[in-house]
Amino acid sequence: MKRTTLGVTTALMSAAALAATGTLGANAAPQPVNPLLAQSEALHAAAERAGTISSALGLSGGERLVPRDVVRDADGTHHIRFDRTLNGLKVIGGDLVVAQKSGQVTGVSRASQAVLAGLDTSAPSVAAAPDATLVVFALDRAPVLAWETVQHSVKEDQTPSELHTFTDAKTGETLLAYDGIHVAEGTGQSTYSGTVDLSTTQSGSAFQLKDPARGDQAVNDLNNGSGTGTLFTDADNRWGNGTHTDKATAGVDAAFGAAKTWDYYKNVHGRSGIKNNGVGALSKVHYGNAYVNAFWSDSCFCMTYGDGAQNRNPLTSIDVAAHEMSHGVTSATAGLVYSGESGGLNEATSDIFGSTTEFHAGNASDAGDYLIGEKINIRGDGKPLRYMDKPSKDGRSLDFWSANAGNVDVHYSSGIANHFFYLLSEGSGQKTINGVAYDSPTYDNQPVTGIGRDKAEKIWYRALTTKFTSSTKYAAARTGTLAAAADLYGASSAEHAAVDRAWAAVNVK
């Protein structure tokens, strides 16, 4: 499995990894009841009782009850929610909730009082649309046979639509139409970005941390384990409390980071999702124990975040989210091989778009900057993981190209391109942006004048998606970005000249 991590130093990472494998399970307190297992057992038991309950309710022979949910009271009462079929056809309005205690039905709540016995379920006289399904329709009316059709489309604001229409199978009359996609507007208290709006999915009376406006990208809880985890759900669509004491808080950050990354690529580059196919990626939080890293995996098309030191500094800031998901974009485009100079360019692409996404998000609690990981205290000293104006400030990264660049860890050879991008955007020397002071040097001690981030990011994206390949190294990155600048602004443009100058300032000629 190919994984691209954020790249904290090996020593720090291996300590965390050891902690994760060494103590998970070994420390385990008394096994809690697995709620998912308990629920599946309750549903299984309900299915076995369905026939008896059906008889107790006086349902006809062609009717079947299919359990969908079970709520258990402390006094032993089970509230079993059933859907119903008649002669194998789904009954719209056939659902009911049965309260059962000690094997006795103590109450029933029905969507419809209609009697289905004797309804003719054969030979509808109105022809169906090609993909229509025959159902029994008993919602707020006497039961009839009906066709259900589902029409998928996308609305103006990118929200998908799943229009269900029920048509009387005898008369052709429309009985009901509704949209199966429910965009709910939730709010969340995040770790790093303050109170944020979240687009979520309503499912029954609960909400899911799944964004129907952005390719259904969802956030799962790994509960300090691994695997797929479980989708975050919430009763009132207000998520998290801003600290690690509520497990949903890291989920809020991950959902917000994924949304801001989606919006950045969509609004700035016209790209619809990581693969440009409108499909959202899964994010998973609470991986392992005190795991101080985050990673993207192409094979699961998903993001995984650790909880950081003491499980209190989740790796879920906007720039880290965008950094990791940008590895997916690189993988879907240039495919820069993750070693040597191409690996440095791969890492730099993630830092560049991590930074530009953070600027684009315009979040007051995490303002845009040319720092990576300034929010997550990844080294425990409160300092950022990486600096783009002068990469060597981290003690390891390269400010300038040299013949040895291809032998340096990709998280440090990325410094050359990060520095290029900073110089191209902002220029050399001292500058304060959003309260952060920068001082960017040049290899030849000659000044560079920036062309602005808005142009620099477009040049890098165009080079990534139309010029770079798996084998691109620094010299080819220079010619690729020059070609991109020529495409966008003209071969004799100031922007083209600025690209040339910024590469020279990092010793790529």
Shortest spacing between CB 42 and Zn ion, in angstroms: 43
Query: Binding to Ca ion by residue 253, rule CB under 5 A?
Result: no
- Whole-angstrom CA distances from 350 to 197, 287, 383, 414, 471 are 25, 21, 19, 9, 17
Among 168, 221, 319, 394, binds Ca ion (CB under 5 A): 319
Catalytic residue among 63, 148, 323, 324: 324
CA 249 from chain centre, in angstroms, equals: 15
242 φψ region: left (φ > 0), alpha (ψ -120 to 50), beta (else): left
Q: What is the DSSP string of 434-448?
A: TTEEEEE--TTS---
Contact string (CB under 5 A) for Ca ion, positions 225-244, x = contact: ---------x-x-x------
Catalytic site residue 48? no
CB of 134 to Ca ion, least distance (A): 40
List 269, 327, 411, 496, catalytic entry: 411
Tell me: does residue 507 bind Zn ion (CB under 5 A). Answer: no
Q: Classify residue 2 by its DSSP letter.
A: -
- Closest distance between Ca ion and the C-beta of residue 33, in Å? 22
Whole-number minimum distance, CB 208 to Ca ion, in Å?
A: 12
Q: Which stretch binds Ca ion (CB under 5 A): 205-213, 352-360, 387-395, 474-482?
A: 352-360
Q: Which of 440, 452, 508, 443 is nearest to 485 (CA)?
A: 452
Work out what residue 236 binds among Ca ion, Zn ion, none; the CB cut-off runs from 5 to 8 Å by kind: Ca ion
Residue 221 binds Ca ion (CB under 5 A): no
- In angstroms, what is the minimal distance from the CB of 308 to Ca ion? 16
Q: Does 342 bind Zn ion (CB under 5 A)?
A: no
Compute the distance between CA of residue 327 and CA of residue 281 in angstroms, rounded to an integer.
Answer: 12
Q: Which is nearer to Zn ion, 137 or 264 (CB)?
A: 264
Q: What is the DSSP string of 83-144?
A: EEEETTEEEET--EEEEEETTEEEEEEES-----TT---S--SSPPPTT-EEEEE-SSSS-E
350 binds Zn ion (CB under 5 A): yes
Query: Rounded to whole angstroms, how far apart are CA atoms 243 and 494?
Result: 47
With respect to Ca ion, which residue has the nearer C-beta, 86 or 378? 378
Is residue 413 at the binding interface for Zn ion, with CB under 5 A as the rule?
Answer: no
Site string for Ca ion, 361-400 (x = CB under 5 A): -----x--x-x-----------------------------
Residue 411 bears catalytic tag: yes
Spatial separation of the C-alpha atoms in residues 410 and 188, rounded to whole Å: 35
Instruction: Tell me if 477 sits within 8 A of 502, measured CB to CB.
Output: no
Residue 196's contacts (CB-CB under 8 Å, 6 or more residues apart) are: 187, 188, 190, 252, 256, 363
CB of 86 to Ca ion, least distance (A): 38
Q: Which residue is nearest to Ca ion (CB)?
A: 319
Q: What is the distance between the alpha carbons of residues 178 and 235, in angstroms, rounded to a whole number?
A: 23
State which residue, 288 or 354, has the beta carbon closest to Ca ion: 354
Active site residues: 324, 411
What are the residues binding Zn ion (CB under 5 A)?
4, 350
What are the residues binding Ca ion (CB under 5 A)?
234, 236, 238, 319, 358, 366, 369, 371
